[in-house]
Structure formats: structure tokens, C-alpha cells
Amino acid sequence: MYEILFTLTLIFVLAAVLLLVAAQKGLPVIPFYLFAGILAGAFVDETALLDLAQWGIAFLVFLFGIHVDLEGVRSQGRIGVAVGTIQATLVGAIGVGAGLAFGLGRLDAVYFGVAAALSSSLVATSYLDETGPFRPTHERLAESIHFTEDVLGVLVVLSLSAFVYAATPAPEQFAVAGGILALALGIRHLLFHRLTARLRGDSEVMMLVGVSFVIGFIALAEAAGLSIVVGAFAAGIAVADDYPHSLELVDTVDDLEDFFTPIFFVTVGALLTMPGLEAIGYTVALVAAVLVLNPLIVAFVLIRGGFDGRTAVLTGLTLDQVSAFTLFIAIDALAAGTIAEPLFDAIVLSAAITMLVATYTTRHAGEINRWLRARGFVSLLGDPVDDRTRVSDDLEAHVILLDYQHGGQSVLEACAELDRPVLVVEDNPVVFEEIRGECDEYVYGDISSERVWEQARLEEAAVVVSLTPERDRAETVLDLDTDVPRIVRVNETDAADAFLERGASGVIYPDAIAAERVGDDLDALLAGESSLEEFRARGRSQFEDPSS
């Protein structure tokens, strides 16, 4: 007991200290856990932790399974699925080839390829889900690509257990895994709600039900000789993430996960031995592949697929890190004794390094994009600002509208009502199709490209309205060299001041606008000047008829 208490105390104290540092600097936590493990590895016997660490994997994958939104992927993720598959296959193949060229064994070369190919959503989601459903194109694309690669991760785990860890190759395991997933879907749709309805929101028992789902499906998976990753994923599929389960079950399991996740990542770090020259060599190769090759290929494929340069580059920059699934695979392989020690070290090291770098590149994605553009990089890939533009030659005194999906609909209606010509600039091919149907004047392309503004006849325009909550985009609009008034959206008071100083004619601060309107309505209600019915009607008018 003393030993394990010492180990856990050391893990959590180290993790807490490093987390505080990470929180101060706004950095992701997982690389810090890995570093904590490397530090702690000198003092503790990590094998004692493997049992607890496995629960970390189980909960991580379980929650990933819960959050899988099949509908969402079907409706708008097709491009992401294609891009993710192309990128992972391509880089995976290159990685395996490079691994063989390094003189690695066949299996080690496969691990090497997997590590180079897959990107992590478990880390990326922490900063991707910040702004809700109205996210810029590149974030939505990134999300579906990450999702695709996580599913690929599950498939890789499955293939490894079918062909490598099984005594004899057992392709029928894919059918078994399919059966388990089908069972999970059946439970989700037929049993889950009946089972939980009778608990009447008791979150303690709900949590146990969730944990038992994990155990049950993992038991099934293990009985079939499959990895626990497959079982935990199926368990997640079996749990419906709707109201009120999202509060009572998912959140509590989420809190539980917070206990086991650090143990997992710290243990992985602790398993690292002193890296030798060989390990460092692999690390450099992996880091290079993940940081350069992955974003490059994604950006290239996206541009070829009709996206503008900015979206392509920004999406590519979210894919420059080693996946958490790679770590699961590596630890499985280490346990099975099928991975070369230096390669394992290299994978852990490159995961820590790339996760940190990824935070930097995501945060400075806008600047990196402009830097690349200034050096002609984007046009090298073939930036397609082309014929998908329709602007009348005599267009003038028009409103240039950016970011249609952030409330642009109502601007269009307003302009139609006022007989004011309006031109939409858009960089999302999916939204663009919709715009084509609704507007007369449009330009497809990247707003950081000067040609787009020429095509939009900026100098003839009456006003530019930018509705994006992205600061970097708003700044691009403000830095345009023109006298045309520009109105941009802000989300905080400080930004309002900064933008007005930077050249904005006006700022739209939705929260402040809402405060005035709702404040007046509430004031009237509380003062007895309007009835509750009138108050409700005022509220309803906002979303039932957006143009009111």
C-alpha cells in the first residue's frame, strides 16, 4: 500500500504542478503528463500502475465513442472522411516505407507508419469545441478529419489484434467486431433508454451503469480476443448522449475519466527509457513527418478538392500531432513485446513534442498562413480563386458580406427589403452552394487574397460587414487598404476598443445588443409594464422570425 500511495502521490503532485504551468501558458495538458511520467519514471515502478492506466484508455475511448455523432458525420463530414483517409493512407505508406528503409522489422515499420499517419482528436477537441456550432470551415473540416483518423485508429488496433497478436491470423475478428458494434447500436436504440428511465436521474447509479457498460463490452471484446479499445469504443456507441443522460451519465463518467487519464499518460511517460541515438533518429523522422508532411498533404488535397488556400492551410495545421491512439497501440505493442524499445521511446517523445508544437501552430495559424501566402506557398499548391464568381460589372454602393453562416441570412433579407445590392464572399464550398442559390453576386475565395477584394469591387462598395467571431479574420478585414467603412463583430469589450482603433468604422457586439434588448424587456416585465405573455412573445420573436 505504501508503494502505490507513494506512486500515486508522486504522479498527481507532479501532474498538478505541471498542469498549473500549462494552464498559465494556455498549453495542452497531455504532453505535460508525458513529461511528468518521464520525470517520475526515475522513482517509481510503473508496472504497478498498468492496471489503473488501462482504465484510462478504456474511459478515453469510451467517451470518444459516446461523442461519436453519426448523423453529423453523414450530413457534413464526407469531405473530411475522404481527406482523412487519403492523408492517413498516404503518410502511412510512406512511413512504413521509411521504416523499412531505416532497417526496422516489418512490424516495427508498421508501428512507425501508424505513428506518422494518425492525428489526435483527443487532444485537438480541447481547443476545437470552443465556439459551438457556428465554427469556421476549417474547424469543422478538422473535426471530421480527426474523427475519421480516430476511427482508423480503432481499425488499426483491430487489425493488429487480428493479424499480429492472434496466434494465427484471424480475419473473422472483423466480423466479430462488427457484431459487437451492431449489438452496441441495438442496445443504444432499444434498451438504453428503458434501462435508464427507471433510475430517475440518480447519477450515482447511472455512473455505475456507464462503467458496467464499459466492463461488459470489454469483456465481450476480450472473450473474442479483441483489444479493449474495440470494447470500450462499442460501449461508448451503446450509450446515448442525449438529454438528460448527457448531464447524469456522460458528465459523471467524464469526471471519473479525469482521475484515470493522468495515470495513463504519466505511466506511458514513465515507460520511456533513456533515449539512445537510434530513438532520437526515429523521433526526428516522426516529428518531421507529422509536422510537415501531414499538414502539407491535407492542404494539398483540400485545395485540389476546391477549398480556398486559407481554409486548406488552417485545416492542415490542426493535423500536426501524434494521435492518442498511437500511444494506445504503442503500449499494447510494448506489453506484447512486439515493438523495438527505441521505437517506443521515439513514439512517446514525438507525441509529446508534436502536441506542444501543435498548440503553437494552432494558436498562430493565421500568421503562419499569411507568412506562407506571402512566400507564394499557397499558389504553389494551386489556389483556386477562379471562375466561381459572379459579379456584375456595374455593381456599386453594395454591401460586401462575409461569413454568411454567422447570421448573414438576415442581412440578405434586409438588403432585399431595402433594395440594396449585396455581394457575399465565402470560403466554404458547402455553404457556397447554398449562397449560389440565394444571391446574385458572389465571390468564392480567401479573404486574405487581394484578388478576391478586387473581384468583390471593394472600392465601389458602400460597406463591408464581417460577422465572424474569429479575431484573425476580422483583423484581415480591418487591415485592408481602403476607405470603405467596415463593420466587424466582436465578442468582448477589449476587442471592441482594439478594433475601433485599428480602423473599424463600427463594431457589432452581440452580447451588448442582446443586453439592451433583453434588459428592456425584462425591465418592462418586472416593472409590471408588460405581462408574462408579452414577455414570452418578445422572446419568441427572436428565433421564430429572425428578421423581426
Partner 1 sequence: MSLGGIALATDFALLIVAATILSYVARLLNQPTIVAYVLTGVVVGPIGLGIVAEDQLIEIVAELGLGFLLFLLGIEMRFEDIREIVRPVGAIAVGQAVLQAIASTAVALVLGFTLFQSLMIALATTFGATPIIVKVLGDKDDLKTLYGKVDVGILIFQDIYLVMALAILAVGTVDGVSEIAVSIGRVFFLMGVIGVVAYLASRYFLPALLRASAANKGTLFTVGIAWAFLFIFAAESLELSVEIGAFLAGLALAQLPYSTELKERMRPATNFFIAVFFASIALQMEVDQLLAYWWQAIVAAVLLIVINFFIVFGLFYSQRFDVETSFLGTVSMLQVSEFSLVLGALAVDQGFIEEGILGFLSLMALITMPISTYYVLYNRRIFRYVRPCLERLEREDTLEAQPVEYENHAVIVGYSRLTGELADVLRASVDEVVFVEDRAEYVDELAEADDGFIFGNARHGDVRQEANVSGADVVVSAAERVDVNRRLVEDAPEAVSVVAARTEDDAALLADSGADYVVVGRGLVGAELLALLETLDDPQVFDRRIEELNDRARDGVPRRTDSASRDGETDV
Footprint of partner 1 on residues 315-374 (CB under 8 A)? Answer: 331-332, 334-335
66 lies in the binding site for partner 1 (CB under 8 A): no
Which single residue is written with the C-alpha cell 467603412? 485
Yes or no: say if 139 and 125 are a contact pair by the CB < 8 Å rule.
no
| Residue 205 interacting with partner 1 (CB under 8 A) | yes
Residue 493 in the binding site for partner 1 (CB under 8 A): yes
Task: Please report whether residue 501 would count as binding partner 1 according to CB under 8 A.
Answer: no
Q: Is 29 an interacting residue with respect to partner 1 (CB under 8 A)?
A: yes
Contact between 465 and partner 1 per CB under 8 A: yes
Distance CA 429, CA 310 (A): 13
Q: How far apart are CA 70 and CA 321, in angstroms?
A: 24
Q: Pinpoint the alpha helices (H) of 224-317.
A: 228-238, 245, 251-270, 277-288, 294-304, 309-317
Cell numbers standing for residue 51: 492496471
By CB under 8 A, residue 225 contacts partner 1: no
**CB of 414 vs partner 1, minimal distance in Å:** 4
Smallest separation, CB 239 to partner 1 (Å): 14
What does the alpha-carbon distance between residue 439 and residue 424 come to, in Å, rounded to a whole number? 8
Q: State yes or no: residue 402 binds partner 1 (CB under 8 A).
A: no
Q: Closest Cα to residue 64, out of 254, 265, 347?
A: 254
Q: Contact with partner 1 (CB under 8 A): which of 223, 288, 374, 380? A: 223
Residue environment code for 392-401, b if the CB has 16+ CB neighbours within 10 A, otherwise e:
eeebeebbbb
Residue showing cell 422570425: 545
Q: Which of 411, 424, 452, 456 binds partner 1 (CB under 8 A)?
A: 411
Report the DSSP pairing between strands 441-444 and 389-390.
antiparallel
Contact letters (x/-) for partner 1, 139-178, by CB under 8 A? ----------------------------------------
Touching partner 1, residues 115-144 (CB under 8 A)? 132-134
For 70, the 3-state DSSP assignment is: helix
Q: How far apart are CA 96 and CA 103, in angstroms?
A: 11
Contact pick of 414, 451, 479, 483 for partner 1 (by CB under 8 A): 414
Please identify which residue in 101, 376, 512, 531 interacts with partner 1, judged by CB under 8 A.
512
Is 28 or 309 the residue whose CB approaches partner 1 more closely? 28
Q: Which three cell numbers stand for residue 133?
A: 456550432
For helices 251-270 and 203-223, give the axis angle rounded to 10 degrees: 50
Residue 464 Ramachandran class (φ > 0 left, ψ -120 to 50 alpha, else beta)? beta
Nearest to 446 by CA among 472, 421, 422: 472
Please say whether the beta carbons of 361 and 317 come within 8 A.
yes
500 binds partner 1 (CB under 8 A): yes
Distance CA 32, CA 24 (A): 13
Handedness of CA 383, 387, 389, 393 (dihedral sign): positive
72-77 contacts, C-beta under 8 A, 24 or more apart? 73/144, 73/147, 76/140, 76/144, 76/430, 77/143, 77/144, 77/147, 77/148
Q: Measured from the CB of residue 17, what is the shortest distance to partner 1 in angstroms?
A: 8
Contact pattern from residue 36 through residue 65 relative to partner 1, giving x for each residue in contact according to CB under 8 A and a dash for the rest = -----------x--xxx-xx--x-------
Interaction mask 417-436, partner 1, x per CB under 8 A: xx-x----------------
User: Least distance in Å: CB of 374 to partner 1?
Assistant: 31
Window contacting partner 1 (CB under 8 A); options: 11-19, 69-77, 147-155, 292-300: 11-19
Q: With binding defined as CB under 8 A, does residue 530 bind partner 1?
A: no
- Closest approach, Cβ 211 to partner 1, in A, equals 6
Buried-state track 189-228, b at ≥16 Cβ within 10 A, e below 16: eeebeeebeeeeeebeebbebbbebbeebbebbeebebbb
Rounded distance, CA 518 to CA 539, Å? 8
The whole-angstrom separation of Cα 63 and Cα 246 is 11
Query: Shortest distance, CB of residue 385 to partner 1, whole angstroms?
Result: 27
Under rule CB under 8 A, residue 70 binds partner 1: no
Binding mask 254-283 for partner 1 (x = CB under 8 A): -xx-xx--x---------------------
CB of 337 to partner 1, least distance (A): 9
Comparison of 106 and 200: residue with beta carbon closer to partner 1: 200
How many residues form the binding site for partner 1 (CB under 8 A)? 124
Is residue 409 close enough to count as binding partner 1 by CB under 8 A? yes
Q: Is 272 helix (H, G, I), strand (E, B) or coil?
A: coil
Least Cβ distance, residue 217 to partner 1 (angstroms) = 8
Q: Is 548 in the site for partner 1 (CB under 8 A)?
A: yes
Closest CB to partner 1 among residues 433, 534: 534
The distance of closest approach from Cβ of residue 146 to partner 1 in the complex, given in angstroms and rounded to an integer, is 19
Least distance to partner 1, CB of residue 53, Å: 9
